[in-house]
Amino acid sequence: MFRYRTGRRPSSLSPLHALALVVLILLAGCQMQPPEPVDEDKMAIDRMLSLIDERLDVAEDVARAKWNSGAAINAPEREAQLLDRVADEASEAGVDEAFAREFFEKQFDASKQIQRRLQLRWVQEGRGPFANPPDLAEEVRPVLDRLTPQLIDSLSDMQRIARVEGAGRYLEARARVLVQDDFDGEPRAVALRPLFEVMAR
Ligand SMILES: O=C(O)C(=O)C[C@]1(C(=O)O)C=C[C@@H](O)C=C1
């Protein structure tokens, strides 16, 4: 038969010991919290990620324009032109030129990955030309051109935040929320690589 046992068990903690234990657990908990960037830095990281996502989104318009015109996905002369501008604007903004260059090269690579994967899909589907493709020179590239100075501005924030403890961890967590993961997240990983390389974990 079930019997409720009364009386103190020999191993019971005294109230003082219990309190000390609670304080110790709380202290350990505080120490285990990984360091986080301050709110202002978090907002700057979110802004950077949103801009990267916006730029990746433009790749589909580029792919549609090129699908109809038959232009090559790789456009090295356009990349060179953009990189010249990036170098000028980066040095004006105090952003390390090599960092800015590497960052934009990876954005081009990510865009080309998306364009190739989309066009491959359209080939497999036996797609014809699009009815209303966007105009590459008049409509699509100007969108990318407007993003360039904003991205450079954001790179200057990233350069400042790079040594902040926990910035890399925050970047990683927020990237999963704010940046598209199309095509198994490969273009996203490519676009973010230069940031992960500089961010403190
Ligand atoms: O403007 C184009 O033709 C694009 O394909 C876009 C873009 C870019 O991301 O800026 C990507 C790849 C090209 O090699 C050049 C530029």
Whether the Cβ atoms of residue 125 and residue 140 lie closer than 8 Å to each other: no
Listed range (17-31, 49-63, 76-90, 139-153) with the worst mean pLDDT: 17-31
Token duo for residue 21: 């234990």
CA pair distance 137, 143, nearest whole angstrom:
10
Whether the Cβ atoms of residue 55 and residue 162 lie closer than 8 Å to each other: no
pLDDT above 70 for 6:
no
pLDDT the model gives residue 83: 98
- pLDDT tens digit string along 70-98? 999 999 999 999 999 999 999 999 999 99
Q: What percent of the chain has pLDDT over 90?
A: 82
pLDDT above 90 for 59:
yes
pLDDT the model gives residue 18: 87
DSSP the chain: ------S--TTPPPHHHHHHHHHHHHHHHHHHSPP---HHHHHHHHHHHHHHHHHHHHHHHHHHHHHHH---S--HHHHHHHHHHHHHHHHHHT--HHHHHHHHHHHHHHHHHHHHHHHHHHHHHT----SSPPPIIIIIHHHHHHHHHHHHHHHHHHHHHTTSTTHHHHHHHHHHHHS--TGGGHHHHHHHHHHHHHS--
Residue ranges of the domains in the chain? 37-198
pLDDT the model gives residue 4: 52
Cβ–ligand 1 distance for 65 under 6 Å, the answer no
Query: What ipTM was predicted for this assembly?
Result: 0.99
Token duo for residue 22: 């609670």
* Nearest-atom index, ligand 1, CA of 115: 5
Cβ–ligand 1 distance for 67 under 6 Å, the answer no
Cβ–ligand 1 distance for 112 under 6 Å, the answer yes
**96 Cα–ligand 1 center, Å:** 22
pLDDT the model gives residue 23: 85
User: Domain 37-198 classified CATH 1.20.59.10?
Assistant: yes
pLDDT the model gives residue 1: 45
The residue whose CB lies within 8 Å of the most ligand 1 atoms, and thus the one to mutate among 52, 84, 111, is: 111
Q: What's the whole-model pTM score? A: 0.86
Cβ–ligand 1 distance for 111 under 6 Å, the answer yes
Cβ–ligand 1 distance for 144 under 6 Å, the answer yes
Token duo for residue 127: 């797609």
